[in-house]
Amino acid sequence: LIDGAWIDAPQTEANVSPSDIADVIGHFPLATADMVDGAVDAAKRAFPAWSREIPEKRADILDRIGQRIAQERAFLGEVLAREEGKVLADALAEVDRASRVFRFFAGEALRVTGETVASLRGQCEATVRRRPLGVVGMITPWNFPIAIPAWKIAPALAFGNCVVLKPAELTPACAWHLARIIRECGVPAGVFNLVCGSGAVVGDRLVRHRGVAAISFTGSTTTGARIAAIAAGRMARVQLEMGGKNPLVVLADADLDQAIEIALNGAFFQTGQRCTASSRLIVEASVHDAFVSELAARLRSLNVGHALDADSTIGPVVSEPQLAKDVAYIRAGREEGAQLVTGGEVLERRTEGFYLSPALFAETTNEMRINREEIFGPVAGVIRVADYDEALAVANDTEFGLSAGICTASHKIACHFRDHAEAGMVMINLPTAGVDYHVPFGGSKGSSFGSREQGRQAVEFYTSTYTAYDRPL
């Protein structure tokens, strides 16, 4: 979608369901670098009028987009479940999230504020004001194919920017339908552009294009680091959300049943394919054995199956390469001496897809690769610790810092963990995954770079400030 028109690309690629490789959702474009240039040029041309538009107009359009997403909920949820493989209930919840995000930022469009300060010079006033950046490039991953584009696009448009979105190769359908809705809801031509295709061609051109003022990226740490280096070279603003190796601490005083449900949800739901998934379960020794055996029993009771089957609790892994990666990590875990308590088997189902039983390792150490590197699959390792102090040290001994959780009945320890866990999001008696959209999302250390996404803080990335000094004559 470039300058308000749907353009054919010279090549297309089949979008295949990971639940059933015979289910082809569609054939989506592999755009060229020239098409990226066309999209950026269109966005630049659209920017002056859009950025000067009265905020209420932008708010109304965003509100309409949010409502349309809600109206098309059933359809979009099914497309999402088919192309990404999360079970339908999770897909519908993600669509709801996208709808809410647009409506939240519809309101935020009216709340761009500044600051008035007495100047140090007499009879003079200083004001700090905000303005949009221009063209923002967005590069998104496959694991939340409608919610992540939504939480980047909505604030960008709300504050008067124009957008070029490059969605993940594996999930173009959600982005395509979102673009269709955005266009149908009255966003002017060129204000929002969609360019589908590969990271190496489309993504790379977007990052290098001098007409793109800022890049918002969610994806792997390797790609994020490359993008940051290129963006820095041309002084473009950049925001990166990358990996996690999120710890969940379970202390002896926790409600064990609740802690097991929290671990189950945080580590394995949505096939563990969440950057906030709890992949390191750090458990106090006195409850360790009970925790492991009961969590394993719960895992065996889950149904891994087709994303659209009503009785599936966990869908397939997103793709064949990702399945191969998960299996390789499971092998590495065993070779390093971890004990595979349950799961880790490639499964056959009624349709041909990428099914893997959720894998729980025990007797792991924090030095093992399975506890240091992000796997991005239904794999978690349990680490036994003597007490809270050791648990906190292990939790923080990682290069990542996205989300961290603790299960405990002690308010004192929970507060200590809240303030000492090196993570951008801290969860007390809650799964590490699962966040609200009206508060900031992001991490510390190697997980994030740049200012926060979502919530009121999103304005920091999508606007820049300027300072005006004013002396009345």
Query: Which residues of the shown chain bind ligand ADP in the complex (CB under 6 A)?
Result: 139-141, 166, 168-169, 199-200, 203-204, 207, 219-220, 223, 226-227
294 is catalytic: no
Q: Which is nearer to ligand ADP, 161 or 223 (CB)?
A: 223
Q: Which is nearer to ligand ADP, 200 or 235 (CB)?
A: 200
Whether 271 contacts 86, CB under 8 Å: yes
Of 9, 442, 24, 452, which Cα lies nearest the Cα of 244? Answer: 442
Q: How many other β-carbons are positioned within 10 Å of the β-carbon of residue 267? A: 29
Q: Find the helix or strand (DSSP H, E) in which 253 lies.
A: none
Position 463: which residue type?
T
Q: Which of 241, 284, 422, 453 is catalytic?
A: 241
Question: Minimal distance in Å, beta carbon 33 to ligand ADP?
Answer: 12
Q: Which of 174, 275, 284, 422 is catalytic?
A: 275
Q: How many other β-carbons are positioned within 10 Å of the β-carbon of residue 86? A: 30
| Residue with tokens 């950057």, as numbered in its chain | 275
Q: Which pair of structure tokens corresponds to residue 300?
A: 């065996």
CA–centroid distance for 254 within its chain: 29
φ, ψ (nearest 5 deg) of residue 420: -120, -10
241 is catalytic: yes
Of 311, 358, 318, 363, which Cα lies nearest the Cα of 336? Answer: 363
Whether 344 contacts 357, CB under 8 Å: yes
Q: Find the helix or strand (DSSP H, E) in which 276 lies.
A: none
| Residue 292 to residue 305: CA distance in whole angstroms | 24
Q: How far is CA 133 from CA 224, 294, 448, in A?
A: 21, 52, 21
Of 229, 207, 302, 220, which Cα lies nearest the Cα of 261? Answer: 302
| Residue 91 to residue 315: CA distance in whole angstroms | 11
Q: Which is nearer to ligand ADP, 35 or 383 (CB)?
A: 35
Q: Which is nearer to ligand ADP, 11 or 116 (CB)?
A: 11
Question: Minimal distance in Å, beta carbon 217 to ligand ADP?
Answer: 7
Question: Minimal distance in Å, beta carbon 382 to ligand ADP?
Answer: 25
Question: Minimal distance in Å, beta carbon 193 to ligand ADP?
Answer: 15
Q: How many other β-carbons are positioned within 10 Å of the β-carbon of residue 210? A: 9
| Residue 361 to residue 383: CA distance in whole angstroms | 9
How big is the CA angle at 51 (ends 99 and 241), to the nearest 5 degrees?
50
Q: Which is nearer to ligand ADP, 139 or 435 (CB)?
A: 139
Q: Which is nearer to ligand ADP, 203 or 353 (CB)?
A: 203
Question: Minimal distance in Å, beta carbon 212 to ligand ADP?
Answer: 12
Question: Minimal distance in Å, beta carbon 171 to ligand ADP?
Answer: 9
Q: Which is nearer to ligand ADP, 108 or 453 (CB)?
A: 453
Question: Minimal distance in Å, beta carbon 327 to ligand ADP?
Answer: 16
Residues identified as active-site: 241, 275
